[in-house]
Amino acid sequence: MGIEVVVEGLTKSFGRQNIWRDVSLTLPAGEVSVMLGPSGTGKTVFLKSLIGLLKPEKGRVLINGVDMVNSPERDIYETRKLFGLMFQDGALFGSLSLFDNIAFPLREHTRKKESEIRRIVMERIEVVGLLGAEGKLPGEISGGMRKRAGLARALVLDPQIILCDEPDSGLDPVRTAYLSQLLIDLNAQIDATMLIVTHNLDIAATVPDNMGMLFRRELVTFGPREVLLTSDEPVVSQFLGGRREGPIGMSEEKDAATLAAEANTATPAAARVIVPQLEPSPGLPPRRAVARRRERVMSMIDTLPPAARSAIRETYARDAGAVTVTAPVAGSGA
């Protein structure tokens, strides 16, 4: 099972520029979480801070008792082995075949024999649907295939925490849909804790158990997906609706006068429909995270906003109805 990641009061700046401040959240073990936000809000910086590649000025990131901000470098290095990181551009070595790219972490960080490395690499290549392409160079394949190769490389060390940095960038809607299903299938197979940084609304609507959003150097919200998807926060409504009216501007956030003028002319936002979360492909086991999440969310439901409470209850009532319909009738011999 994946590992819980606890973030407490994280603050990061570059020189005088504050990226975000006092970010606190918990990535539940084995669940899939998404971090949304407009371009330039420090989502990638947040990922690199979780894994200890960047050092925030304040706060802690706790993983198995190790603080990825303040613990000794030796402990951070060992804990980093629990992670698999899928970079935005795949980050493949152009002169190496896909096989050798995917094998690289095993050759770098383990003493496994080449026969064992081949077995592991070919298993991961099959998981991401690249069988037959292992001998190709990155320049000989499509962007979507490079993404999947990057994901395969992130998996070879059997990570318990997977971080995906904008896995949809450069992909068309069809490839993005395939990738979304692949991420859910992966979670069903290995039960890893996953955090996906994206501004793709299709991924956000269908993949995660939990959602958060960064804006104006703050964490706007983080929690069960229904909280963000039913939020009436202006920045959330604007982002999910893809509208120009709202706090997000082209280059930076808008001033109060601009927002006031928009409020007088804006058309009401359309009601949002929460689409069902993706399920694993046929033949795969159910996601173990689903039962854990349900228990966790129902234990905190009275603390959530009314719209989120209603959406959660509706979802679970619908699921229960589906189970009732398909359940065998007692005494029927089924």
Residue 309, domain CATH? 3.40.50.300
Q: List Cβ neighbours of 292 (8 Å cut-off, separation of 6 or more).
A: 28, 29, 30, 31
288 in a domain, yes or no?
yes
pLDDT band at 73; cut points 50, 70, 90: very high
Segment holding 24, helix H or strand E: strand 17-27
C-alpha span between 65 and 261 (Å, rounded)? 50
5 in a domain, yes or no?
yes
Q: What is residue 271's predicted lDDT score, i.e. its pLDDT? A: 52
Per DSSP, the three-state class of 221 is strand
286 in a domain, yes or no?
yes
* % of the chain surpassing 70 pLDDT: 88
Choose the final residue of a domain: 217, 239, 271. 271
C-alpha span between 122 and 112 (Å, rounded)? 15
Q: What angle, rounded to 10 degrees, do the helices at 289-300 and 306-326 form?
A: 140
Q: Tell me, yes or no, whether 285 and 251 share the same domain.
A: no
134 in a domain, yes or no?
no
What pLDDT, in 10s, does the model give residues 146-180? 888 998 999 999 999 999 998 888 788 888 898 89
pLDDT band at 115; cut points 50, 70, 90: very high
- How is the beta sheet containing 66-67 ordered, strand by strand? 17-27, 5-14, 58-63, 66-67
C-alpha span between 225 and 274 (Å, rounded)? 9
- Read off the DSSP letter of residue 131: T
Residues in a beta bridge with 32: 194
Q: Tell me, yes or no, whether 175 and 264 share the same domain.
A: no
* % of the chain surpassing 90 pLDDT: 60
Q: How many separate domains does the chain show?
A: 2
Q: Tell me, yes or no, whether 196 and 290 share the same domain.
A: yes
Q: Tell me, yes or no, whether 58 and 17 share the same domain.
A: yes
Average pLDDT of the residues of the chain: 87
282 in a domain, yes or no?
yes
> Which alpha helices (H) appear in 84-190, and where do they start and end?
98-109, 114-127, 143-155, 173-190
198 in a domain, yes or no?
yes
Q: List Cβ neighbours of 318 (8 Å cut-off, separation of 6 or more).
A: none
Q: Tell me, yes or no, whether 193 and 254 share the same domain.
A: no
Q: Tell me, yes or no, whether 14 and 61 share the same domain.
A: yes
Which tokens go with 321?
A: 């109805």
152 in a domain, yes or no?
no
Q: Tell me, yes or no, whether 75 and 174 share the same domain.
A: yes
CB 239 within 8 A of CB 252: no
CB 184 within 8 A of CB 280: yes
Q: Does 254 score more than 60 pLDDT? A: no
Q: Tell me, yes or no, whether 249 and 288 share the same domain.
A: no
To which residue do tokens 């399920």 refer?
279
* Nearest residue to 182 via CA among 90, 274, 284, 92: 284
Q: What is residue 324's predicted lDDT score, i.e. its pLDDT? A: 42
To which residue do tokens 């050798």 refer?
100
pLDDT band at 51; cut points 50, 70, 90: very high
Give the predicted TM-score (pTM) of the model: 0.86
Q: What is residue 180's predicted lDDT score, i.e. its pLDDT? A: 92
Q: How far is CA 305 from the centre of its chain?
A: 23
Q: Does 306 score more than 90 pLDDT? A: yes
Which tokens go with 114?
A: 């080449």
Q: Tell me, yes or no, whether 78 and 166 share the same domain.
A: yes
143 in a domain, yes or no?
no
Q: Tell me, yes or no, whether 6 and 75 share the same domain.
A: yes
Q: Does 189 score more than 60 pLDDT? A: yes
Domain enclosing residue 261, as ranges: 231-271
Per DSSP, the three-state class of 261 is helix
Find the mean pLDDT for residues 60-84: 94
* Nearest residue to 36 via CA among 187, 203, 173, 162: 203
Q: Tell me, yes or no, whether 295 and 213 share the same domain.
A: yes
Burial, 8: exposed, middle or buried (Cβ in 10 Å; 0-12, 13-18, 19+)?
Answer: middle
CA trace torsion 81, 86, 91, 97 (10° rounding)? 80
Find the mean pLDDT for residues 206-226: 93
Q: What is residue 258's predicted lDDT score, i.e. its pLDDT? A: 57
CB 82 within 8 A of CB 63: yes
